[in-house]
């Protein structure tokens, strides 16, 4: 199963971006966005700029897992569900189940072309 981490996407009326940063820059960004952050993180969502930041050492399943986790934050913030977005357990559970479903899909009922 091939899943793609894009460089940009559209969320409601905003253009979202995905940017990879080195560990040092990501930690700096995390401190700027959330001064309470203590532990070093592998991903981050900036809801002011609609940007997902991912550390550049992530690969494979960890990369897509982190992308989906940050994408769930993005969806929740963008739809006014800030409280749910701040619930890391909820976001983790949602993104893990989403990855399981996406990576286990089999068969092709129909091809669907979606316009952008
Ligand atoms: Zn999170």
Residue 115 pLDDT more than 80? Answer: no
Ligand 1 center to 2 CA (angstroms): 24
Residues with CB under 5 A from ligand 1 (ion): 88, 91
Domain edges within the chain: 8-104
Ligand 1 center to 73 CA (angstroms): 7
pLDDT tens for each residue of 11-27: 999 999 999 999 999 99
Question: What's the pTM value of the predicted model, to 2 decimals?
Answer: 0.91
pLDDT tens for each residue of 89-103: 999 999 999 999 999
DSSP code string of 17-48: EEEEE-HHHHHHHHHHH-TT--S--SEEEETT
Nearest to 68, CA basis, from 90, 94, 49: 94
More confident residue, 37 or 82: 82
Ligand 1 center to 111 CA (angstroms): 32
pLDDT band at 2 (very low <50, low <70, confident <90, very high): confident
What pLDDT score does 116 carry?
63
Q: Which of 31-40, 51-60, 67-76, 99-108 has the lowest mean pLDDT?
A: 31-40
Q: What mean pLDDT comes out for the span 36-64? A: 92
Q: Which two tokens mark 15?
A: 């253009």
Ligand 1 center to 70 CA (angstroms): 6
């Amino acid at each position: 199963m091939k899943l793609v981490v894009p460089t940009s996407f559209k969320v409601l009326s905003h253009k979202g971006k995905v940017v990879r940063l080195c560990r040092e820059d990501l930690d700096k960004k995390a401190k700027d966005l959330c001064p309470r952050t203590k532990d070093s993180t592998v991903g981050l969502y900036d809801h002011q700029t609609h940007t997902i930041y991912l550390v550049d050492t992530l690969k494979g399943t960890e990369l897509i897992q982190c992308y989906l986790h940050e994408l769930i934050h993005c969806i929740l913030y963008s739809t006014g569900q800030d409280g749910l977005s701040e619930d890391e357990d909820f976001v983790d559970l949602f993104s893990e189940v989403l990855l399981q479903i996406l990576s286990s899909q089999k068969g092709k009922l129909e091809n669907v072309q979606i316009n952008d």
